[in-house]
Structure 1
Amino acid sequence: MDATGAGGPAPARPDVVRVGVDLGQGGCRAVARYGARTGHADTGGFWGADPDARVVTAVRDALADLGPVADVPLAVGVGMTGLNGQPPRVDPIRSGLRDLGRRGTLRVADDSVTAYLGALGPVPGVVVAAGTGVVVLAVGATVARADGWGADLGDRGSGHWIGRAAIRLALRDHDRGRPGPLLEAVTATFGPVETLPAHWRDQPPTPEVVAGFATTVAELARAGHPGARRIWERAGRLLAESVTAAVRRSGPVGPEVPVAGTGGLFGAGNLLIAPFTAALRAGLPQARPVPAAGDPLAGALALSDGSAVPAPLAALTVHVDLEKVDIVEEVEPR
């Protein structure tokens, strides 16, 4: 889907260039829109360099891809991983955009907010964003977040969780003298098992590298490997548990609760979706799974236009003027 905003294309605004940025663990994507024209950019993710610099680079490259425009202000919306529900630091990004000679506004939020805006838009419900990591955001009587604690402390059911669980299972198979395709895949990807402890100690792979192994685990599961299939089934159940926990804290949204999944992990199809849906309906009977209207990049573009953000999510967003030295508006984050 083109990143035009949740639920359909956003209206053209010739008085402003709208830019959305989705900074994830595995990559940073940006889209710039001016009238009917669109520019795109892709750079490295959270773990590759300074995250704030990644955002500025993505905005710069998307504007370059857009091409020359009139001297109009920017409206930039950024969804960032790594905030773990805390208010974002906006000064480094604002300073970087000013260094590009740009004026306008900047809105920055946790990536759970932009995932929500992209998937459901301005309606109550729940969005589970699952890729390298995982975070769940529920909007009901209040706003509640579940997981998003990072690879070492949480992200249960994420791509990283799947990759790590598969590596651990392969090592148990090795200890039991049961070589097989999973152990062979671990060796092919990460090296001989005898060297793994030193490798993890001296040069530990970043979460997106471990999460990348989930693709191989999916292939093995589809080929009939029982351990790989169990890992994906467990991941689906863990995601459903996080959704249920978030809804219980957010309060009721009505007789039915729309639940949308977004992120690369849901690309595995029924390997994940079937156990996720079954566990969700068992733990939260009022849940109504719905397809995501758009992705987090679409949500970031929606964030750039404050009028497209409902009050509960606007309260999780920091809004600044690029031309001011001090923050001109900061809505209480929580």
Structure 2
Amino acid sequence: MSGAPAVRIGVDLGQGGCRALARHDGRSGHGRTPGFWSGQPAARVADAVGAALADLGPVPDGPVAVGLGMTGLNGQSPPVDDLRARLRERGLRGTLDVADDSVTAYLGALGPVPGAVVAAGTGVVVLAAAPDGRTARVDGWGAALGDRGSGHWIGRTALRLALRQRDRDRAGALLDATVAAFGPVETLPARWRERPPTPERLAGFAGTVAELARAGDPDSRSVWRRAGVLLADSAVAALRQAGLAGADVPVAGTGGVFAAADLLLPTFTRALRVGAPCARPVGAAADPLAGALALCAGPAGRTLFTGLVVHCDIEERAGKR
């Protein structure tokens, strides 16, 4: 390889979208493609990397350092062979670091320090890390089995409440919003059997539920309050598994759900203090895309998560570090 500094590329592969950020010599390039649920995640990642590099503009011939946080792993080792091949097809060489998106969410929110991070967007996953190297991952089971308190959970729960309003012949703002977003409720079951909604579509409805909650709708407010309790419950479970339930450590929330802090944080904070009184709720320093960049920046980004990151050369056989 030449002596040119590596172009750093962070990639965040979520359920609803894949974002890439390329940085070199003070310049940045951005790329975005469909997410995990669109299929062929390796292709989506490679396309996002290519788009970010194109947006970055000309750089000296040299290596790249790619850091990827991806959903859909459920604690399993990430498959990297297909991705490495697709990156090579684009003429890229250098290093590749891949981890579950909980790791990159953690690095973006807190950096390489002990604590816990609740990443709540379309889905939700919590990761806690202790000074002795123990880690604990909670939830992240996907929309059908878990993701309690996620955007998908909020959208689905609100939809169910709206249908209960319909069954009770009780008009309400939530029912009106459901009809506006999804069509007549009488034909909803048949239409959804034919074409089930994607998790991100239901998660998108959470934004409408937030607007209704801020306007004073009691059912919508109750959904967001319950989401805060569920997310705190998962954070407490992760802290306990990592041996941190009684420790003075930061707990950060990140992701689109936490953008509605006014609706979520009151119950989240109360429930967290009950389950882990010494934990300190803090704001996230940055997002998972920044965490993906930190992952490929050098060993410091991987030290806290030994065994959870696959590090390899794009041209060579992968191996864990």
Same-fold call, TM cutoff 0.5: yes
SS in 2 for 1:213: helix
Pairing partner for 1:309 from 274, 277, 301: 301
Q: Is the 8 A contact 2:33 2:44 kept in 1?
A: yes
5 Å-filtered alignment, 1:2-81, equals 15-81=5-71
- Aligned residue number for residue 174 of structure 1: 166
Cα drift, residue 253 of structure 1: 8.1
Structure 1: give runs of 5+ residues left out of the alignment.
1-12
Match of 1:164 in 2: 156
Q: Deviations over 1:97-132 (max 9, x none)?
A: 000011101111000000000000010000000000
| Greater displacement, 115-124 / 302-311 | 302-311
Q: Is the 8 A contact 1:166 1:217 kept in 2?
A: yes
Q: Which moved more, 1:249-258 or 1:220-229?
A: 249-258
The yes-or-no answer on 1:122 pairing with 2:100 is: no
In 2, the alpha carbon distance for the partners of 1:267 and 1:318 equals: 30
Offset at residue 34 of structure 1 (A): 1.0
The CA distance in 1 between the partners of 2:193 and 2:304, in whole Å, is: 42
The aligned amino acid for 2:277 is P
Q: What does residue 287 of structure 2 align with?
A: 295
Q: Which residue of 1 aligns with 2:218?
A: 226
> Secondary structure of the residue that 1:76 maps to in structure 2?
strand
Deviations 1:206-242 (A, max 9, x none): 0000000001101111111111100000000000000
TM-score, with length taken from structure 1: 0.92
Share of identical aligned residues, percent?
A: 66
The alignment of Structure 1 onto Structure 2 pairs a total of residues equal to 317
Matched, 1:132 2:132: no
Secondary structure of 2:147 counterpart: coil
- Of 16-25 and 249-258, the range deviating more from structure 2: 249-258
Select 2:76's aligned residue among 73, 78, 86: 86
Paired residue secondary structure (1:85): coil
How much has 1:308 moved relative to structure 2? 2.6
**Offset, 1:311:** 2.5
What RMSD, in angstroms, separates the aligned Cα atoms of the two structures? 1.3
Instruction: Give the CA deviation at 1:14.
Output: 5.4
Counterpart CA distance in 1 for 2:272 and 2:247 is 15
In the TM superposition, residue 323 of structure 1 has moved relative to its aligned partner by 1.4
**1:168-220 Cα distance to aligned partner (Å, 9 max, x none):** 00111100110111111111111111111112211001000000000110111
TM-score, with structure 2 as normaliser: 0.96
Deviations 1:143-188 (A, max 9, x none): 0000000000000000000000001001111001101111111111
Equivalent in the alignment of 2:260: 268
Task: Give the superposition deviation at 1:330.
Answer: 2.0
Residue 310 (structure 1) shift: 4.2
